[in-house]
Amino acid sequence: MRTISLPRGRQRLHAMPTSTGYEVREDEIYDWDGRRRGQTPFTVLQHTISGTGRLRYENRNYRLQKNDTLLVLVPHNHRYWLAEDERWEYFWISMNGEEALRIHKSILSVSGPVFRLQPATIDHLADCSLRLIKGAASPGAASAVAYEAAMALYDDVFGSHAFAEKQSAMQPVIDHINANLDGPLPVADLVQISGLSRAHFSRCFAESEGLPPAEFVLQQRLQRAAKLLTKADFLPVKEVAI
């Protein structure tokens, strides 16, 4: 086991690591409740190398397997732990600071508390953890490494490859909307076309198109009406109406 707790400086930096390390837990009590870790906000980014961890996040249960990455904010209604007769190998980076919290909140709103990262991102985060364990020369240097880790995570979740995947996943939905602007387009139907859960669909759609589904449909109808008005000197109101 390698772990380090980093002292909090007097300066309030935008991203500051509070702890980091690598551990293998087996046949022991390992249990963190996000409601019982104080009221000072911080985040935990924990990547599973092997084995199994458990997470209860609000009212949903997760089984964390190899290559799963966990992200939680404290204080919050969650709990992660090692179940009886299981083994969990992982590394983690905890940090606080206004910018770190903002970035991680935005990632949680899109990806939820458990997701999978690109191998290069995992290596980058592990390198950041190792550099912190070996010792940053100053609070500023430690802050720079924490911010680097936060931005590596941000680039993976919101970067060009992730954006392209979301756009591709939403294309059948967009095609359906554009082909049926004259008829009803309830969000429930769009969810069914996407094959996602309603909450995940809404997050992915907003990230891909920049608007919630219902607002996007209204925008498309308004644009269609505007085009019809500019293409003819006279059209019946019924044909232009949205």
**151 shares a domain with 51:** yes
- Quote the pLDDT of residue 233: 53
Q: Tell me the C-alpha distance between 100 and 43, whole Å.
A: 8
Residues 6+ apart with CB under 8 A from 178: 220
Count of domains forming the chain: 2
Of 105, 126, 158, the last residue of a domain is: 158
**109 shares a domain with 18:** yes
Give the number of residues written for the chain. Answer: 242
Q: Which domain holds residue 229?
A: 162-240
**120 shares a domain with 95:** yes
Q: Tell me the C-alpha distance between 205 and 122, whole Å.
A: 26
CATH of the domain at 170: 1.10.10.60
Q: Which amino acid is at 45?
A: L
Q: Tell me the C-alpha distance between 71 and 93, whole Å.
A: 10
**185 shares a domain with 91:** no
- Quote the pLDDT of residue 197: 85
Tokens of 17: 């690591």
- Quote the pLDDT of residue 138: 84
User: Residue 51: left (phi > 0), alpha (psi -120 to 50), or beta?
Assistant: left
- Quote the pLDDT of residue 79: 98
**187 shares a domain with 117:** no
**123 shares a domain with 44:** yes
Task: Single out the residue of 71, 30, 35, 19 nearest to residue 52, CA to CA.
Answer: 30
Alpha helix (H) residue ranges in the chain? 98-111, 119-134, 139-158, 160-179, 187-194, 198-209, 213-231, 237-240
**75 shares a domain with 13:** yes
Of 158, 186, 215, the last residue of a domain is: 158
**42 shares a domain with 145:** yes
**84 shares a domain with 24:** yes
**171 shares a domain with 144:** no
Q: Tell me the C-alpha distance between 199 and 71, whole Å.
A: 18
**185 shares a domain with 152:** no
- Quote the pLDDT of residue 136: 76
Q: Tell me the C-alpha distance between 32 and 76, whole Å.
A: 11
Of 158, 191, 209, the last residue of a domain is: 158
- Quote the pLDDT of residue 7: 53
Three-state SS at 145: helix
CATH of the domain at 62: 2.60.120.10
Residues 6+ apart with CB under 8 A from 62: 54, 55, 56, 68, 70, 113, 114
- Quote the pLDDT of residue 19: 93
**227 shares a domain with 205:** yes
- Quote the pLDDT of residue 240: 44
What values do phi and psi take at 93, rounded to 5? -135, 125
pLDDT mean by block of 10 residues, the chain; 242 residues: 54 85 95 96 97 93 95 97 97 95 89 91 96 85 94 86 62 90 92 87 81 89 78 52 48
